[in-house]
């Protein structure tokens, strides 16, 4: 069979007709109906092919239109995937570990993290990844689609302009059952929809493939991540793609530095040619020239917040070796601070529990036990820490749920005594008061660090992330708060009075 004649479609139907029949033949009106229908179908098919064109075999393709890669291939008349929008190979790669060292790994990647500016094509890339995995795995393939809210999953990831449905020609589109939050593919694969509002739904079901869109905006981010990872255990190599604009967050940092993660970064400007002028107007005008431009447009992970009180350098300088600090702990005045999780949205915030000690003019963070805890659990953890470190005080903020903290601790202490468990002797539970503003409260402690008097005895990844990324105009994170409270108790309290209260 011969190939159909090469036709330039761009000129409209007259050019098409003349290309087919020669210049002297009559235009459309003289064609018989059958011929018209056939031509229309051909046009529609070509349009759909162009709309769904994505992968080509050209090495490091820049996504611009080009001819056939192999002589018998189709051509690529429209813009399609750039090379870094295709899933990366499993070849050996260099990654950064948690301390920022470069190490080489060669095991297959598990998470493909695409951290790029707005409009880079993240959503489209995620959708095409799901399609690609589904074509390979076929019957029995189980996919998790995870978005911020249920409408986000439906309107962006599935039905959006760069969503999953748009990756398929009309005749091949999978069957979307919104009420069941499920998509059934023709080849037997099934995708299930989840939202970060209901992280518990991810507990239990198992999947081969996952797609997480706009992770940085999630509620209860940590819980979603740990739940979905537990369920990724089907097939030889479960794989996920995480597509998001960057946002400094300890969970994101953990994923970025995980050796089983491959990271792709990119900027809005990479995809300029494919973006609608309105989008460019809105987004570029909103961010260009602002402090957020690097993050929102260039897709940079800003490890340090602008104006953060602690820089990474300062944190590094003020790190002390716990082994060297150890012998002095017995001489220190030690306290444990609790910053209970916000009552408005307890699932999103953690309870900060930080242990610190003071020796003469210097203070040392000894332990960070913060986490998602129930009141009974954090009370036990704090009392346990007081026992272990021989702390004289447990402190909490006066103005924020002090009564609740005090009552919970008293109750748990009473329970422990009744059960004959060891309790710290001479332990006092005290409120701390400090200036109202979050910034004015944290500043004296940051100054202590700068003067070389406040140390971290060990490595506390999450606490350090909060220190380096907290923008003082925003609500302060829990671990940082707890550290500020314990430091305020050790250094800023008027000596001799607090004990009388
Ligand atoms: N390589 C590409 N070729 C053609 N169009 C693309 C390409 N990458 C992205 N697009 C299109 O660019 C637009 C923005 O992509 P989208 O995935 O929504 O961006 P993001 O999720 O990063 O904000 C969409 O219309 C999408 O289809
Ligand atoms: Mg998107």
pLDDT tens readout for residues 245-290: 998 777 888 888 788 899 999 999 999 999 998 988 888 888 888 7
Q: How far does the centroid of ligand 2 lie from the alpha carbon of residue 98, in Å?
A: 28
- pLDDT tens for residues 136-158? 998 999 999 999 999 999 999 99
pLDDT the model gives residue 4: 53
Tell me if 69 is assigned to some domain. Answer: no
Boundaries of domain holding 342? 312-492
Residues 407 and 448 in one domain: yes
Together in a domain, 290 and 353: no
**How far, CA to CA in Å, does 260 sit from each of 95, 132, 308?**
9, 20, 30
* 245 CA: nearest ligand 1 atom: 22
Atom of ligand 1 nearest to the CA of 82: 1
Report if residue 80 sits inside a domain.
no
* Candidate of 63, 155, 274 to mutate for ligand 1, largest count of ligand atoms within 8 Å of Cβ: 274
444 within some domain = yes
What's the CATH code of the domain at 115?
3.40.50.300
Binned average pLDDT, 10 residues per bin, the chain of 501 residues: 51 53 58 84 92 92 92 91 93 67 82 95 97 94 96 95 95 94 95 94 94 92 92 93 89 85 92 91 85 85 79 87 90 94 63 94 94 90 94 89 91 94 90 79 91 90 85 83 93 58 34
**Whether 246 and 163 share a structural domain:** yes
3-state secondary structure 51-119: HCCCCCCCCCCCCCCECCCCCCCCCECCCCCCHHHCCCCCCCEEEECCCCCEEEECCCCCEEEEEECCC
| CA atoms of 99 and 461, how far apart (whole Å) | 9
Q: Which residue has the tokens 């076929």?
A: 138
Does the beta carbon of 401 sit less than 6 angstroms from any atom of ligand 1? no
Which ligand neighbours the alpha carbon of 279 most closely? 1
Taking the C-alpha atoms of residue 139 and residue 188, their distance in angstroms, rounded to an integer, is 4
Does 104 share its domain with 217? yes
Q: Burial-class residue 357 by CB neighbours within 10 Å (0-12, 13-18, 19+).
A: buried
Same domain, 248 and 337: no
Q: How many Å lie between the centroid of ligand 2 and the Cα of residue 489?
A: 45
The span from the CA of 271 to the CA of 28, in Å, is: 38
Considering the domain architecture, whether residues 291 and 167 belong to the same structural domain is answered as yes
Domain closes at, from 236, 268, 296: 296
Total count of domains within the chain: 3
3-state secondary structure 448-473: HHHCCCEEEECCCHHHHHHHHHCCCC
Are 179 and 209 members of one domain?
A: yes
**Ligand 1 center to residue 81 CA distance, Å?**
9
Cβ 370 under 6 angstroms from ligand 1 = no
Residue 4 lies in a domain: no
Residue 59 covered by a domain: no
Cβ 81 under 6 angstroms from ligand 1: yes
Final residue of a structural domain among 246, 272, 296 = 296
Q: What is the pLDDT of residue 466?
A: 86
Question: Is residue 292 domain-shared with residue 327, that is, in the same domain?
Answer: no
Q: What is the DSSP string of 155-171?
A: IIIISSTTSGGGGS-GG
Calculate the alpha carbon distances from 438 to 342, 354, 368, 499, 501 in Å: 15, 18, 20, 25, 25
> Do 286 and 328 fall into the same domain?
no
CATH assignment of the domain containing 431: 3.30.420.320
- Return the ligand number nearest the Cα of 114: 1
Q: Is the CB of 122 under 6 A from ligand 1?
A: yes
Residue 492 has what pLDDT? 84
Q: Return the residue whose CA atom lies nearest to atom 15 of ligand 1.
A: 121
Q: Which domain-ending residue is among 242, 271, 296?
A: 296
The SS3 call for residue 341 is coil
CA 398/CA 194 separation, integer angstroms: 39
Domain co-membership, 138 together with 195:
yes
pLDDT at position 19: 53
Q: Report pLDDT for 98.
A: 54
144 & 230 share domain? yes
Tell me, yes or no, whether 161 lies in a domain.
yes
Q: Is residue 77 part of a domain?
A: no
User: What is the DSSP track for 25-42?
Assistant: S--GGGS-HHHHHHHHHH
Residue 92 falls inside a structural domain = no
Residue 412 pLDDT: 94
Q: Are residues 34 and 146 in the same domain?
A: no
Q: Identify the pLDDT of residue 410.
A: 94
Rounded to 10°, the helix 478-487/461-469 angle is: 90
| Ligand index nearest the alpha carbon of residue 264 | 1
Look at residues 446, 440, 429 and name the one whose alpha carbon lies nearest to residue 487: 446
Residues sharing a CB contact under 8 Å with residue 490, sequence separation 6 or more, in sequence order: 333, 335, 356, 357, 358, 363
For 294, the token pair is 């690097």
């Amino acid at each position: 069979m011969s190939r159909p004649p090469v036709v330039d479609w761009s000129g409209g139907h007259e050019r098409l007709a003349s290309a087919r029949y020669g210049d002297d033949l009559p235009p459309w009106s003289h064609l018989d109906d059958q011929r018209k229908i056939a031509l229309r179908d051909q046009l529609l098919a070509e349009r759909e092919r162009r709309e769904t064109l994505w992968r080509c075999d050209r090495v490091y393709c820049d996504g611009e239109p080009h001819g056939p890669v192999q002589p018998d291939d189709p051509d690529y008349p429209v813009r399609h995937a750039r090379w870094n929008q295709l899933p990366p190979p499993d070849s050996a790669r260099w990654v950064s570990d948690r301390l920022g060292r470069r190490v080489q790994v060669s095991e297959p990647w598990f998470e493909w993290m695409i951290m790029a500016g707005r409009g880079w094509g993240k959503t489209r890339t995620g959708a095409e990844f799901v399609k690609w995995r589904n074509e390979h795995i076929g019957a029995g393939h189980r996919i998790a689609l995870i978005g911020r809210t249920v409408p986000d999953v439906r309107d962006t990831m599935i039905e959006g302009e760069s969503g999953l449905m748009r990756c398929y020609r009309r005749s091949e589109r999978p069957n979307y059952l919104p009420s069941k939050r499920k998509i059934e593919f023709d080849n037997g694969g099934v995708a299930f929809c989840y939202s970060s509002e209901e992280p518990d739904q991810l507990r239990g079901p198992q999947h081969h493939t996952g797609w997480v869109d706009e992770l940085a905006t999630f509620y209860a981010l940590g819980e979603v991540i740990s739940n979905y990872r537990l369920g990724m255990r089907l097939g030889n190599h479960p794989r996920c793609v995480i597509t998001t604009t960057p946002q400094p967050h300890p969970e994101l940092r953990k994923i970025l530095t995980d050796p089983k993660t491959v990271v792709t970064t990119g900027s809005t400007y990479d995809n300029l040619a494919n973006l609608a002028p309105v989008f460019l107007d809105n987004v570029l005008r909103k961010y260009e020239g602002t402090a957020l431009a690097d993050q929102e447009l260039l897709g940079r992970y800003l490890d340090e917040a602008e104006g953060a009180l602690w820089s990474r350098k300062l944190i590094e300088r003020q790190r002390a070796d716990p082994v060297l600090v150890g012998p002095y702990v017995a001489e220190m005045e030690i306290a444990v601070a609790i910053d209970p999780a916000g009552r408005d949205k307890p699932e999103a915030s953690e309870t900060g529990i930080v242990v610190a000690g003071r020796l003469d003019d210097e203070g040392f963070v000894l332990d960070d036990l913060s986490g998602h805890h129930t009141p009974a659990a954090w009370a036990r953890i704090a009392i346990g820490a007081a026992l272990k470190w021989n702390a004289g005080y447990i402190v909490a903020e006066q103005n924020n749920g002090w009564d609740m903290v005090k009552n919970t601790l008293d109750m748990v202490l009473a329970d422990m005594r009744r059960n004959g468990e060891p309790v710290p002797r001479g332990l006092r539970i005290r409120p701390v008061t400090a200036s109202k503003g979050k910034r004015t409260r944290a500043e004296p402690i940051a100054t202590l660090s700068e003067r070389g008097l406040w140390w971290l005895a060990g490595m506390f990844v999450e606490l350090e992330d909060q220190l380096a990324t907290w923008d003082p105009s925003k609500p302060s994170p829990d671990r940082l708060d707890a550290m500020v409270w314990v430091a305020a108790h050790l250094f800023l309290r008027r000596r001799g009075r607090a004990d009388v209260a």
